[in-house]
Structure 1
Amino acid sequence: MPTTVAAGARASDFLLPDLGEGLTEAEIVTWLVSPGDIIAIDQVVVEVESAKSVVELPSPYGGRVQTLHGAAGDIVQKGAPLITVVPESVPPVAPAPADVVPGTALRGTVEPEATSSGAVLVGYGTKESTVRLQRPAGGRFGRGGGNAISADSTSGLGLLDPVRNSPVVSPIARKLAKDNGFDASHLLGTGLASLVVRSDVESAIAARTAGPAGMAPSSVLDDDLRIPVTGLRKLVATRLSESRRIIPEVTIWLDVDATELFNAKDRLQRSTGERFSITALIARFVVAGLLQYPILNASVSEDGAEIIQHRRINLGLAAQTPRGLMVPVVHDAHAMSTRELRDAIAAVVATSERGDFRPAALAGGTFTLNNYGGFGVDGSTPIINHPEVGMLGIGRVIERPWVVDHQLAVRSVMQLSFVFDHRVCDGDVASGFLTFVARCVEEPLLLLGNV
């Protein structure tokens, strides 16, 4: 039986809700519905990327989708319309087939009992809904019905395959591919689990425009690539500029013999049968150091008139993700055992591979630990994560000649660098903290005297 528009039905606009953390805009990543689709209350209709995370938004209205206000890659301001939905009267739903789980609804059907949203969105209803929907076929990375480019144009290079469905998280990569006439998901990404990153798209563009000998025409070489600064990159740029403008930062560093730390890690793993990362153990030392020097677990008020010393240690961990640099936070690190801290850091590392942190996981940090040794560098002078007042960096571990008991030996050496806000403390406090952590690295049993 066909559906009919109810007499006097009025269209409802679903506006971009408050995403929290003072965010005022978001970028459309993927539409999960199309004009003409019938949707139910609380059905996820769009994925948007804020400066914090990628968020799936459920519609507070049910009915037929009349208009999509924007395309993938467009920026939408808070309070601006996302979709327009027209209510429809729907015939009773036929009994579900035997292979359908009771309590679920088939896609494209609406249960009349649900009259308002059960999902909590700021500015929309919170009445419990009985609707239970299955995600659209293809899931988060499902391809739409857009025009797909044939693999023939780059088949010799093996870049594009129209039957491939690689994950694409970055809206910039997605839009860049679309602007150049192909679907980014048709690439075999170089990221984790074949994730397509921006460099993959740029390589495909270069391959498509290259001549027979692999050289791009001069007209292509003369065209500069303009990449809009949006979303997370825009937030990072703003915060780093603000930090460098406001904070009089100073960096100090030490080369540290980490041989005993690696020995202690091995003994710990043998005695417990569990794995412990070097980052987790150093994080344990950092928390102990902040308890010794609490002024470094602080922030400065906006007017600069007060130093706010925080009672809770919320340890941020600088992480490179498919979406860019992010600083997820291990909250209440001071209250955790070494095992609990290890598990919390492992969860951060696992989520970093996807970059889909919830906004709450990126908020409230009081001090940051940055392990850039994984990039193969010895040291760095990082920019403080404003409004924090300090950041400890860990460089790569290499074997170096080292004097031990007046004898030359080969030891595992790393560099620790510490950047601090000179408004909050002087060099004696900063040096005290850094040397405390360094001593714990060199003599891990030293921590026992401070717990």
Structure 2
Amino acid sequence: MNDQVFLLPDLGEGLTEADILEWRVTVGDTVHIDQIIAEVETAKAAVEVPVPFEGTVIELHGAAGDTLKVGTPLVTIRGTHTAPAGQAPAGHEQYREEERAGSGNVLIGYGTGFDAPRRRRRVPTTHRPPATPEAHTPPDTARSTSSTNVPPSAPRVISPLVRNLALSRGIDLSALTGTGSGGIIVRADVENPAKVTGLTVPVPAAPAPGPGRFHLERIPLKGLRKAVADKLSTSRREIPDATTWVDVDATELLRAREAVNRGLPPEDQVSLLAVVARLTIAALSRYPELNASVDIERGEIIRHGQVNLGVAAQTPRGLVVPVIDHADTMTAVELTRVVRDTVETAREGKLPPARLTGGTFTLNNYGVFGVDGSTPIINHPEAAILGIGRIVDRPWVLDGALTVRKLTQVSLSFDHRVCDGGAAGGFLRLFADYLENPVAALGRL
């Protein structure tokens, strides 16, 4: 007999740990080389993990919800077959190439050398409300038992948010048919179960009036939330930022978009966000000092040769900023398609880590939350972030007369090391002029 311990592999992009979302195998199962054995969640994405061994599973080194460090045991396989000689190094190099290319094929099952294995367990929250009888056992309860296995017939759920949402609504996940890729149960399936299964969802009782609806909870700062916290803390600690803002009449912007779409087929209709992104890039071409970063170790300001545009997106896992590489080479039609597909993939938690790094400038549309203004935190190590609020009808003086126009507020947070207020204000004013008069930007689109 030959027992092989498979360590949690290198997930790339500097990621050092992952949470186990779901086991695809149980003790006693026979597995083959490159079979998917588990899904794990890193600080940036949900990732399927294949195994490089063949044989029988004799131990799973963690339960759903546990956090494992890269390089610590994940599963032990008993058998005599492993990946052919040379396949592991070749596969690892293939992974590296695919990671750099952003192919999405981010794991082939082979890791690199790391420090001694260490296991960290999730700290359960307190005062959790009782589950309804028909709901599945909540994740914390499941982790308190001795079993580390998930039966093969378990519902295909990746997101803890989806599990908690089903629990709060008293929905039996095993009765749902997932509409996500590969039959995964997604948030929409829980929010609209009748569309998939005809389930009747009980309407939760209204909370009792008055005080007493708060209870103490301790929520582990881990995964994506921890990654966001670390990056924002680094930004505040290292970047001497300043923010400037201006009110903008976006009436002509909306009319221009309508005019553009009248001349396009339905499949090529441009989104407002894509038009704003194109105008952002046009303004950046006049103020390239904002498309930059600071190399502290070398004492240099780096002005990038292309615009890799980050687009802030709220997802069930939290805030992520997927990056559109070489956005300056794309038309508004192309940007619409790429932004739409990228944000949808990010919301499903399927973007590879390489797609969430390498940005040179970030656009944040916080208007979707119904707010007018913000002082957004710069996405370190970038030098600036541009935000746009909701567009609403408001009184405005135009040509000396009071009228009602479509107004929005735009704001720019910038790194004061890369430029002074004059350049930042000049960029923001030019961008605002482009929003108010898109025709003026045609020469730079």
TM-score normalized by the length of structure 2: 0.75
Matched to 2:159, the amino acid is S
Residue in structure 1 matched with residue 29 of structure 2 by the alignment: 37
Q: Write the distance in 2 (CA, Å) between the matches of 1:222 and 1:416.
A: 36
SS in 2 for 1:17: coil
Between the aligned partners of 1:120 and 1:185, the Cα distance in structure 2 is 40
Match runs of 1:21-420 below 5 Å = 21-87=13-79, 122=92, 150-151=133-134, 168-171=157-160, 174=163, 185=173, 191-194=187-190, 224-273=216-265, 274-303=268-297, 305-420=299-414
Give, in angstroms, the shift of residue 302 of structure 1. 2.9
Q: For the residues of structure 2 that align with 1:445 and 1:231, how far apart are their CA atoms? A: 44
Where 1:334 maps in the other structure, the secondary structure is helix
- Please give the per-residue CA displacement for 1:84-104, whole angstroms capped at 9, x wherever unaligned: 001169xxxxxxxxxxxxxxx
In structure 1, C-alpha distance between the alignment counterparts of 2:399 and 2:338, rounded to whole Å: 38
Any conservation in 1 of the 2:28–2:58 contact (CA below 8 Å)?
yes
Check whether the contact 1:280–1:345 (CA below 8 A) recurs between aligned residues.
yes
Native 8 Å contact 1:18 1:121 kept in 2: no
SS of equivalent residue, structure 1 residue 414: strand
Distance 1:195 1:88 in 2: 47
Equivalent AA in structure 2 for residue 30 of structure 1: E
1:151 partner letter: E
Deviation of 1:363 after TM superposition, in Å, equals 1.2
Task: State the distance in 2 between where 1:119 and 1:174 align.
Answer: 38
Task: Kindly indicate whether the alpha-carbon contact (under 8 Å) linking 1:253 and 1:416 is maintained by their aligned counterparts in 2.
Answer: yes
Task: Output the CA distance in 1 between the equivalents of 2:191 and 2:10.
Answer: 29
Q: Using the TM superposition, give the Cα deviation of residue 328 of structure 1 relative to its aligned residue in structure 2, in angstroms.
A: 0.0
Asked if the contact 1:46/1:58 (under 8 Å) is kept, the reply is yes
Superposed CA offset, 1:355-380 (max 9, x none): 32111110100000000101000010
Secondary structure of the structure 2 residue equivalent to 1:272: coil
Q: Identity, % of aligned pairs?
A: 47
CA distance in 1 between partners of 2:89 and 2:299 (Å):
42
Counterparts of 1:125 and 1:276 in 2: how far apart (Å)?
Answer: 35
CA distance in 1, matches of 2:314, 2:155: 20
Aligned AA for 1:194? V
Give the Å deviation of 1:185.
3.5
Distance in 2 (alpha carbons) for counterparts of 1:393 and 1:63: 53
Local SS of the residue matching 2:18: strand
Question: What is the CA deviation profile of residues 153-173 of structure 1, one whole-angstrom value per residue up to 9, with x for unaligned ones?
Answer: 9xxxxxxxxxx9987443477
User: For the residues of structure 2 that align with 1:412 and 1:124, how far apart are their CA atoms?
Assistant: 51
Paired position in structure 2 for 1:445: 439
CA distance in 1, matches of 2:135, 2:16: 43
Aligned to 2:10: 18
The verdict on how the C-alpha distance between 1:113 and 1:57 changes in structure 2, with shifts beyond 3 A counting, is closer
Q: Give the gaps of 5 or more residues in structure 1.
A: 1-8, 90-111, 127-147, 154-163, 197-203
- Find the aligned partners of 2:76 and 2:186 in 1 and give their Cα distance: 38
CA spacing shift, 1:395–1:66, aligned 2, 3 Å: same
Contact 1:18–1:122 (Cα < 8 Å) also in 2: no
Aligned-residue offset at 1:183: 8.9
Measure how far apart 1:215 and its partner are.
6.0
Distance change >3 Å, CA 73–CA 183, structure 1 → 2: farther
CA contact (8 A) 1:169 1:323 kept: no
Query: Aligned-pair distance for 1:195?
Result: 6.2
8 Å CA contact 2:22–2:158 kept in 1: the answer is: no
Larger-gyration structure (1/2): 1
What is the DSSP-based 3-state SS (H/G/I as helix, E as strand, rest coil) of the residue aligned with 1:316? strand
Q: Secondary structure at the match of 1:408?
A: strand
Check conservation: 1:307, 1:424, Cα contact below 8 A: yes
- Report the Cα distance in structure 2 between the residues aligned to 1:448 and 1:356, rounded to whole angstroms: 36
Question: Partner letter of residue 401 of structure 1?
Answer: P
SS in 2 for 1:237: helix
Q: Which residue in the other structure is 2:112 paired with?
A: none
Change (3 A) 1:371 1:13: same
Q: Which moved more, 1:329-338 or 1:29-38?
A: 329-338
Q: Output the CA distance in 1 between the equivalents of 2:135 and 2:353.
A: 42
Q: Which amino acid aligns with 2:134?
A: A
CA distance in 1, matches of 2:252, 2:322: 29
Q: Which amino acid aligns with 1:272?
A: L
How far did residue 41 of structure 1 move? 0.6
Q: Give 2:41's aligned amino acid.
A: E
Match of 1:138 in 2: none
| Equivalent-residue separation in structure 1 for 2:172 and 2:295 (angstroms) | 44
2:279 maps to a residue whose letter is F
Matched position secondary structure for 2:28:
coil
Deviation at 1:410, TM superposition (A): 1.2
Q: Give the Cα–Cα distance (whole angstroms) in 2 for the partners of residues 152 and 257 of structure 1.
A: 51
Instruction: Indicate if the aligned counterparts of 2:292 and 2:382 stay in contact, CA closer than 8 A.
Output: yes
The amino acid across from 1:232 in the alignment is L
The answer to whether the Cα contact below 8 Å between 2:311 and 2:322 also exists between their aligned partners in 1 is yes
Matched, 1:427 2:421: yes
CA 233–121 in structure 1, closer or farther in 2 if over 3 Å, else same: farther
- CA RMSD of the aligned region, Å? 3.6
Compute the displacement of 1:304 (Å): 7.2
Letter in 1 for 2:385: M
CA contact (8 A) 2:16 2:69 kept: yes
